[in-house]
Amino acid sequence: RTIGDRIGEAKASGNLGNTLKILGQFDEAVVCCQRHLDISQEQGDKVGEARALYNIGNVYHAKGKHLSWNVAQDPGCLPQEVKETLQKASEYYERNLSLVKELGDRAAQGRAYGNLGNTQYLLGNFSEAITFHKERLAIAKEFGDKAAERRAYSNLGNAHIFLARFDISAEYYKKTLQLSRQLKDQAVEAQACYSLGNTYTLLQDYERAIEYHLKHLVIAQELGDR
């Protein structure tokens, strides 16, 4: 501010916002991220503007998740305040998405799609969540980003469960399992086996359910995860 560096001030405000978000001070975080947005728009800095929109989305997303931890409910069955917070997150991600499309930033589009999928899932809009996660998946494949691809499969599996499309969920969870093995991530591999066990229980294929639950058990024991 002293040297009149507006772009520097905007970035510093954004960094403050992200730090306050991590500290759980969501309302203060929004103020700082909004300042980042205002200065970026005033300076015609499209990249900064996109980043600020994404960061504000993240603050509302984190706040919504934080508020919903106190109420153990299925996605979609949320108190009004949580719903409104997640809807705000979604709006900012949408604005970010249209701007990064304009900028031709595919990686940023991938991140926006993933987060839109997650917020829509929490809001109980499972079909919309699936649409966004499919876009996320396509971009992850484009970049050869195996970790993001794995997350997308997992999220697609979860959303299909709530639409009672258990057979489709099983296929997505199998892809999750395959990738977690490729990535040598045992905790995620265990989680995928657990999801498959539950899905096959829902499909009433109990033999297969037992097989996956045993695999989950073995990894949990290996990892010493009580």
What pLDDT, on a 0 to 100 scale, did the predictor assign at position 72?
A: 64
Neighbours of 204 (CB within 10 A): 8
Distance of CA 123 to CAs 100, 114, 135, 169, 185, Å?
24, 14, 19, 19, 29
Give CATH for domain 1-69+79-128.
Answer: 1.25.40.10
- The structural domains of the chain, with segments of one domain joined by +, span 1-69+79-128, 145-225
The dotted CATH code for 145-225 is 1.25.40.10
Q: Do domains 1-69+79-128 and 145-225 have the same CATH topology?
A: yes
Q: Quick one: DSSP state of residue 24?
A: T
The conformational region for residue 105 under phi > 0 = left, psi -120 to 50 = alpha, else beta, is beta
> What is the arithmetic mean of pLDDT over 66-90?
87
Q: What is the pLDDT of residues 15-46, one digit of tens each?
A: 999 999 999 999 999 999 999 999 999 999 99
Per-residue model confidence as pLDDT tens digits over 136-192: 999 999 999 999 999 999 999 999 999 999 999 999 999 999 999 999 999 999 999
Q: Which amino acid is at 16?
A: L
Amino acid symbol at 105: D
Greater pLDDT, 149 or 68: 149
pTM (2 decimals)?
A: 0.93
Angle at 78 between CA 77 and CA 79, to 5 degrees: 135
Looking at residue 161, its pLDDT comes to 97
What secondary structure letter does DSSP report for 185? Answer: -
Q: Which of 20, 14, 79 is nearest to 52 (CA)?
A: 14
* pLDDT mean across residues, the chain: 96
